[in-house]
Structure 1
Amino acid sequence: MRKLSFVLLMAIILPFTTIAQTIAPEGIWIRPTDKNIQYVGRISFKNPESPLFTYPGVQINTCFTGSSLKMVAKPMSGYFMAQIDNAKPFKVSFYAPKDSIVTLATALPKGNHQVKLMYIVEGYELRPEFRGFIVDNGESLKPAPKLPERKIEFIGNSITCGYGTEGANGECHFLYETENHYYTYAALAAKNLDAQYQVVSRSGIGVYRNYNGPKSGNEKNMRYTYDYTLFMDESEKWNFSRFVPDVICINLGTNDTSTKNYDTSLLTDAYIKLVNQVRRNNPKAKIVMLCGSMMSGKQLADAKSCIDKAVETLKKNGENRISKFDFTPADGSLGYGSDYHPSIAQHDNMAKELTAYLKKLMNW
């Protein structure tokens, strides 16, 4: 919770200064513009004093000196995972109306320390904003370690978001408290491969038809939002030069086929259009069409068939850097997360499968 005096101090300072550091009651407030703060993911810097993002997997890293570290964010921004040095990662909550500062570390030994932050929920409704760090008086930030050279982009739906990973079982329903992207196949595979990555994903989204949408499809699907920095926000086009992936993994189709009211010809055509759109913006990347792991029966067979037809057509049209990978379908033996989404154990298995595939494909 935040003291009123500091909230007022922030309100006074923000409009009138652009300096990177400000004296605060708890120490030195270091603003998001500090050159030592490292960002990864689709982030809007329209207001550089308060970077905004809506996709899970956004990362904020830095090093610091001193015995403590606090993080400043917009109240109701949601949840992050934090790791200090090599200690066990822990969840950080900005999910209360008055929470604007959270202590990340205290009573640390003297010397240099590192912090890694990851946004772990979908921020479309929450509109999270990062507003800096607070270090001890007399201390400062230091450059973050260099990021891995390998780069992966993940385009997906609730599976990639981490919907329900911390849910007790399949009968539980969605809560921000149980969504955790940190434990997803995407985050784990990237870690296994020593790669930096970014995510473009949203629960319920499809290639042509969102969850339980009309048979003719939804206009605002993944193809609509992919070109923008923020989800379903046309105010800012994404600058694709900011992140140039080596490989792009597309895990969509679960929502398109989630109810019986779908058209396989429209889905196949939509896969082709999405790949062409991704290719225009990423001319050198390899593209992998992922399938699974939530689908089964006719739904799974139709999705596989549509992807196969799309890949075949794309290859005939000269797309020679595309392939397909099928996850092992979930059968309940590894448990379920909320609403029968993949559990943490299922995501771990998916990550192992994808890691092995990408190692071979990319010669990593």
Structure 2
Amino acid sequence: MQFLLLLTLVAATPVDEISPSDPRLQYVGRWDRSDSNSPWCAWQGSSIRFRFRGESCSTILTNTGEEEYIRILIDGEALPEGKIPLQPGRRRYQLCSNLKPGVHEVEIVKETYLGKGRMHCNAIQIPAGRILSPPPPKPLRIVFYGDSNLAGYSLENERNDSAKQYRGSHFTFAGIVARMLDADYQNISSSGATLAGKPNSGLTFFDRMDFHSVVPRWDFDRFPADICVINLGANDISSKSNLEIKRDYRVLLDRIRQAHPNAHIVLMNAYGWSRQEPANYTDEVVAERADCNLSRLTFPWFFNEWHGCEYDHGGMAHTLAAHLATINPAWKTLHKSDVFDGFSRDGDVANGSFEQVAPFGGFGWRYRDNGITRVHDPAQSPDGEWYLRLSAKGATHQPIPASPGQIFKAQLDLRGENATQAELRLEFRDQEWRHPIPSLERRIPIKVDTEWKTVHLQIQVPKLCQADDSHQPWQMIFHISANDAPIHVDKIQFRRQLNACRSTRR
């Protein structure tokens, strides 16, 4: 009898099932709502947002293609479990349970766009609770157009592994900067995309609801953008001349300006990865258009990989946020970034005391699978609560923008688990990706014992007898390695001397 009574009670628990057409649901991104009972999206970064009173909720979603991934946010925080596989077909997904009683905000983010399928919303279910009025609309709208970098390839992997489980959108620089500025965003990006002239180009897909279908077209009046960021051009250099790429920028900008007549457009490109990189001449593209609502932004691509991971995107986001604040003071940063800045700034390294970590686990010093471990030990850390342990033969490194003649003063704290030797190595690379200048390499052996000691260095960036600036040093990579026994590292600091030569690049 007790068992039957329990079944009766469970069956009688009220469930508030919300239709996808309910106005209390917010659809962010590019959603087709022509069928109000089954709205769908395709592009990564699209989301459903709602508020409810209760302790748990679920959703029914249909995925018409191959496995994708979604991410759940509760009260603005991504769940620590990470992404959830979005299986093919119609399925129920538990969004949260056992929350503290009260009002909560939930967001379902489509993290990936891997195949030809679409994600349909079929229902929101709230047992023993009720849906509330929607959250207030975000004050700012940003649209991003990009290639594999913005599509989140290898976002959760430091070694350029683009397996689908490592991809995402929420922690790309598009998602990060949108949250910093309290904005809604669209991420219209595709791996391998060029500017124009190919089926996979910004000119081809910028106005699509679904990359794989010409119809339906997106109605830009549904999301009047304040800011439009174009991160395209890298995939064009292997098949087109600089003049042809400039032409394609002009064609794409004409169409983007027509679609976003009042938006500030940012041409955003990386530098330091190719002698033919578009960052060499996007300033000319901007200057010739005489558009006061168009600007150019560049950022360093000095890491070893073809795609950035989360902390690299943190650096891109901080760079973009700072740029936008100079364009319009109202576009200032309102919220602290939820991914730390992985870029070297003002001559210093990023995260030199290892106190910060990206959501996927990386901490700005590559590679965390190369015999290095963050150790939490507030009593033993010289600076903060963490230090880095390098196992025997373990190594780590980080790049720093550098130009000939610049002088850096550096220091770091080292110790060994027994008396041993560490090695510091300075590697200089020119503008071409993965192109070291072997003659400039410098190796420094350091004896360490079981007590922390501070090591000081002064470094002057060499200048080669080269008229072509692209063959001069563009970056300095600081390597640390252990020999036959583990070592500990902390409090790495670099200071570029103010009286030294300053770079005028970018």
Bucket of the pairwise TM-score, normalised by the shorter protein: 0.7 to 0.9
* Partner of residue 324 from structure 1, selected from 296, 303, 306: 296
| CA contact 2:24–2:131 (8 Å) conserved in 1 | yes
Q: By how many angstroms is 1:73 displaced?
A: 0.7
CA distance in 1 between partners of 2:78 and 2:34 (Å): 34
* Greater share of residues in strand: 2
Answering whether residue 75 of structure 2 is matched by residue 103 of structure 1, we say no
CA distance in 2 between partners of 1:298 and 1:247 (Å): 29
- Report what 2:315 is aligned to: 349
CA distance in 1 between partners of 2:75 and 2:200 (Å): 41
| CA contact 1:220–1:232 (8 Å) conserved in 2 | no
- Report what 1:299 is aligned to: 276
CA RMSD of aligned residues (A): 2.3
Ranges of 4+ aligned residues in structure 1 off by more than 4 Å: 23-26
Answering whether residue 201 of structure 2 is matched by residue 224 of structure 1, we say no
- Report what 2:263 is aligned to: 285
Greater RCO (CA < 8 Å, at least 6 residues apart): 1
Residues 129 and 299 (structure 1 numbering): CA distance in 2 closer, same or farther, change over 3 Å? Answer: farther
Residues 176 and 105 (structure 1 numbering): CA distance in 2 closer, same or farther, change over 3 Å? Answer: same
| CA contact 1:92–1:102 (8 Å) conserved in 2 | no
- Report what 1:312 is aligned to: 287
2:301 alignment partner, SS class: coil
Q: By how many angstroms is 1:120 displaced?
A: 1.1
1:179-258 maps to which residues of 2 (within 5 A)? 179-208=167-196, 217-257=197-237
CA distance in 1 between partners of 2:242 and 2:72 (Å): 42
| CA contact 1:30–1:132 (8 Å) conserved in 2 | yes
Q: Mind listing any 5+ residue stretches in structure 2 that lack a counterpart?
A: 1-10, 332-506
State the TM-score, normalized to the length of structure 2: 0.59
| CA contact 2:51–2:106 (8 Å) conserved in 1 | yes
CA distance in 2 between partners of 1:86 and 1:218 (Å): 38
- Report what 1:273 is aligned to: 251
CA distance in 2 between partners of 1:181 and 1:205 (Å): 16
- Report what 1:151 is aligned to: 141
1:103 alignment partner, SS class: strand
| CA contact 2:13–2:127 (8 Å) conserved in 1 | no
| CA contact 1:124–1:231 (8 Å) conserved in 2 | no
| CA contact 2:43–2:209 (8 Å) conserved in 1 | no
Overall identity of the aligned pairs, in %: 25
Answering whether residue 62 of structure 2 is matched by residue 85 of structure 1, we say no
CA distance in 1 between partners of 2:37 and 2:199 (Å): 34
- Report what 1:11 is aligned to: none
* Partner of residue 130 from structure 1, selected from 118, 121, 131: 121
Q: By how many angstroms is 1:304 displaced?
A: 2.0
AA in 2 matched with 1:265: L
- Report what 2:328 is aligned to: 362
1:197 alignment partner, SS class: strand
* Partner of residue 21 from structure 2, selected from 33, 38, 41: 33
Q: By how many angstroms is 1:275 displaced?
A: 0.8
* Greater share of residues in helix: 1
Larger Rg: 2
Q: Mind listing any 5+ residue stretches in structure 1 that lack a counterpart?
A: 1-22, 209-216
Answering whether residue 170 of structure 2 is matched by residue 177 of structure 1, we say no
